[in-house]
Structure 1
Amino acid sequence: MNILQTFALVALLCAGATPLAARPLDAVRKDGTLLLATEGQYAPFNYFKDQQLAGFEVEVAELVARKMGLRPQWKALGFDALLTGLQQDRWDVAIASHAITDERAKAVTFTAPHYCSGGTVVSMNPALRSARDLAGKLIAVQTGTTYAAEVRRLPGVKSVKNFPSDSDARSALASRRVDAMVTDRFVAKELLRKSPNAGFHIGDRVTTERIAAAVKLGNTALADAWSQALQAVMDDGSYAQVSQKYFQEDIRCPAQP
């Protein structure tokens, strides 16, 4: 995506001065450490709690890494730099609620999805619920997410405004600088749970997405090993425990026909 190229410098600055070489699976196993990158600003999936990374994706990624026999090691930085960092060999795996798209799949290799979700309408006006209700409205989205393109395809939307983070988009909505925002449906549910009196209203889901971790383009051995470990985590019940902890439901994708 072009927005990823725009933020390449951010990735270089945030990832540290010493670059890491691209590592095939054998090298990762020999080292014993899996270098993971996430945003850390997207609760309940990845966020900081008492200066430590926490969240559904953080816990699932650590389960997967350990199932692979590896020690997880984390970096946190802006969402738009995460996939660029894979291309620049800065870390082994990025996991930060990236939806699988054809465009992204040209730049990175995706693993099996670790959950399914979709973009959901959030507004201060309970009358704004569906895609049809967004006609003529100014809609906030987070930069680098798939929601900008998806919302632009909805009939009659007046304009889409990008914000650096989901919390920035939320602040714009709370101050009524935009009419509504589109964010992940589980993020929207968490927002309502944490701020029940803030005046936010959750509407309908307007997109459906499969969410997966990503590795450098062509690093299929690492992607396959991750996917196999993820399936093992799903099979042994530990995935379901983490999912219930954060969402009170199992959010894995339904089996493909």
Structure 2
Amino acid sequence: MKFMRLAAVAALSLATLAGVAEAKEWKKVRMGTEGAYPPFNYVDASGKLTGFDVEIGQALCDEMKVECEWVTQEWDGIIPGLVAGKFDTIIASMSITDERRQKISFSEKYYNTPPALAVRKDTDLTGVTPADLKDRVIGAQSSTTHAIYAEQTFVDSDVRLYPTSEDYKLDLESGRVDGVNDDIMVLTEWIDSDKGACCKILGTYKTVPSIHGEGAGIGVRKGDEDLAAMFSKAIKAIRANGKYKEINDKYFKFDVYGD
């Protein structure tokens, strides 16, 4: 009996040591982002990766005292890229949804803004309801919550999906679509620039939690929930110390963190 008890204690000790050995100490974090979703993440004229996601991500790394290394990945492959180990996080305006939680884990949100519909200034559209958009062509970026919302809501419209937001903007500008559905800040940033002079925001939509999720969070692989918790703690810290507001005010006219 005594031998068995000692053996059990030894086995437990080995298991504990193994668990400690497997726990990762995060000194460097590879941050995955799309790099094609302004103003949240994009490559500027000098070739530098920048945007709200990128600056917030860097501020979080500084708060956690870890080194950041940025990796760009096309949106459709961003979750597979994370799972495959190409990077350690996704910070790319990815909404926290139940469907995505089946594949990856998330930090708490770092912002939450509503969806909107942008149209050409010369449009004859006067509303943004499904009835208003019946028989119209509506664009959205594929594999996004906005694409899901458009397909499930505008059932009497011709919904067309595009690999990037830049692609649907070109089609709206040329009149090949009647409107596009995306985050209001993405659309506003474009419309306020010379490139978006053709268009305007026609209206916004109330977020649907089952589709749009709980806001944008930082995605991590299953098993790396400790890293997600580090980011959640750091988000609270930069909200409290003013760093979040400093970055927010550089890009937006109101607090995008949401309720």
TM tier, smaller:
0.7 to 0.9
CA distance in 2, matches of 1:235, 1:25: 33
Task: Confirm or deny that 1:35 pairs with 2:30.
Answer: yes
Assess, with a 3 A threshold, how the Cα gap between structure 1 residues 56 and 197 changes in structure 2: closer, same or farther.
closer
* Deviations 1:48-106, CA, capped at 9 Å, x for gaps: 12111111110000000111110111011211111111111221111111111111111
Shift of 1:28: 4.5
Partner secondary structure for residue 212 of structure 1 = strand
Shift of 1:213: 1.3
Q: Any stretches of 5+ residues in structure 2 without a counterpart?
A: 1-20
Task: Confirm or deny that 1:136 pairs with 2:131.
Answer: no
Assess, with a 3 A threshold, how the Cα gap between structure 1 residues 218 and 196 changes in structure 2: closer, same or farther.
same
CA distance in 2, matches of 1:191, 1:25: 45
Partner secondary structure for residue 217 of structure 2 = strand
CA distance in 2, matches of 1:197, 1:160: 21
CA distance in 2, matches of 1:199, 1:115: 28
User: 1:10 matched to which residue of 2?
Assistant: none
Contact 1:112 1:212 in 2 (8 A): yes
Task: Confirm or deny that 1:104 pairs with 2:100.
Answer: yes
Partner secondary structure for residue 159 of structure 2 = strand
Q: CA RMSD in A?
A: 1.9
CA distance in 2, matches of 1:104, 1:87: 12
Contact 1:136 1:156 in 2 (8 A): no
CA distance in 2, matches of 1:200, 1:66: 38
The residue identity in structure 2 corresponding to 1:43 is: P
Query: Paired residues, what number?
Result: 229
User: 1:235 matched to which residue of 2?
Assistant: 240
Shift of 1:204: 1.7
User: 1:9 matched to which residue of 2?
Assistant: none
Q: Residue 214 of structure 1 is aligned with which of 216, 219, 222?
A: 219
The residue identity in structure 2 corresponding to 1:212 is: G
CA distance in 2, matches of 1:187, 1:48: 15
* Deviations 1:87-129, CA, capped at 9 Å, x for gaps: 1122111111111111111111011111001221011126344
Q: Any stretches of 5+ residues in structure 1 without a counterpart?
A: 1-23
TM-score, with normalisation over the residues of structure 1? 0.84
The residue identity in structure 2 corresponding to 1:142 is: Q
